[in-house]
C-alpha cells in the first residue's frame, strides 16, 4: 500500500450518513489501512443535505453530465438536489487534493460515489452503466476510483 493515499466514502467506514441514516461499514477497510493513509467524508452531507434524507437518483445520465449541467439529480420527493451533489463533490475533491490522494474507494451504486453502475432515475432499483457526481469529478482530476468490491478483490489478490 506504500505510496498510495486514499479517499474513502464515509459510510464505508461506519459513519451513519446514508440517506436512510445507516452506514455501509466494510471492516477490512478499517483493519487494512492505517489512519494516516486515508481521508474521508460524505459528499452529500458536505453538500448540505441532512441525514436521513429522501433517496436521490441521477435522471438517466451520469455524474459527468450533472457536473456539466446537462442532467439533474432528483430526490424521491421531486426536489432538484443537483447543486448539493455538485457542491459535495467539490468539497470531497478539495479534501482529497489537500492530502495528495491518489486513489478513492467509493461506495458502489451511489449517485455521488458509484463508479461503475448507478440507479437510472426511476426509483425502481434498475441500474445503468455510469458513475456518481463525486466519482466523475475525481476521475476528471486523475484520481483512481474503485468500488469497495474492487478494492477488496485487489486486496485478496495481493494477499495470495
Q: Does 105 bind ligand SF4 (CB under 6 A)?
A: no
Task: Answer yes or no whether residue 136 interacts with ligand SF4 by CB under 6 A.
Answer: no
Q: How far is the CB of 107 from ligand SF4 (least distance, A)?
A: 4
Instruction: Please select the residue that binds ligand SF4; options are 110, 115, 148, 151, rule is CB under 6 A.
Output: 110
The secondary structure of the chain, three-state, reads: CCCCCEEEEHHHHCCCCCCCCCCCCCHHHHHHCCHHHEEEECHHHHCCCCCCCCCEEECCCCHHHHHCCCCCEEECCCCECHHHHHHHHHHHHHHHHHCCCCEEEECCECCCCCCCEEECCCCCCCEEECCCHHHHHHHHCCCEEEEHHHHHHHHHHHHC
Could you say whether residue 115 binds ligand SF4 (CB under 6 A)?
A: no
Nearer to ligand SF4, 11 or 91 (CB): 11
- Residues at the contact surface with ligand SF4, assessed by CB under 6 A: 9-11, 17-18, 42-44, 107, 110, 112-113
Amino acid at each position: 500500500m506504500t505510496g498510495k493515499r486514499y479517499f474513502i466514502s464515509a459510510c464505508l467506514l461506519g459513519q451513519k450518513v446514508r440517506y436512510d441514516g445507516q452506514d455501509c461499514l466494510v471492516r477490512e477497510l478499517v483493519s487494512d489501512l492505517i489512519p494516516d493513509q486515508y481521508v474521508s467524508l460524505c459528499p452529500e452531507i458536505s453538500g448540505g443535505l441532512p441525514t436521513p434524507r429522501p433517496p436521490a437518483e441521477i435522471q438517466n445520465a451520469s455524474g459527468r453530465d450533472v457536473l456539466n449541467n446537462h442532467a439533474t439529480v432528483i430526490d424521491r420527493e421531486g426536489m432538484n438536489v443537483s447543486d448539493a451533489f455538485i457542491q459535495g463533490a467539490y468539497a470531497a475533491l478539495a479534501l482529497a487534493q489537500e492530502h495528495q490522494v491518489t486513489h478513492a474507494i467509493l461506495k458502489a451504486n451511489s449517485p455521488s460515489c458509484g463508479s461503475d453502475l448507478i440507479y437510472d432515475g426511476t426509483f425502481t432499483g434498475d441500474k445503468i452503466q455510469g458513475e456518481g457526481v463525486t466519482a466523475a469529478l475525481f476521475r476528471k482530476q486523475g484520481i483512481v476510483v474503485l468500488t469497495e468490491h474492487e478494492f477488496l478483490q485487489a486486496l485478496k489478490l495481493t494477499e495470495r
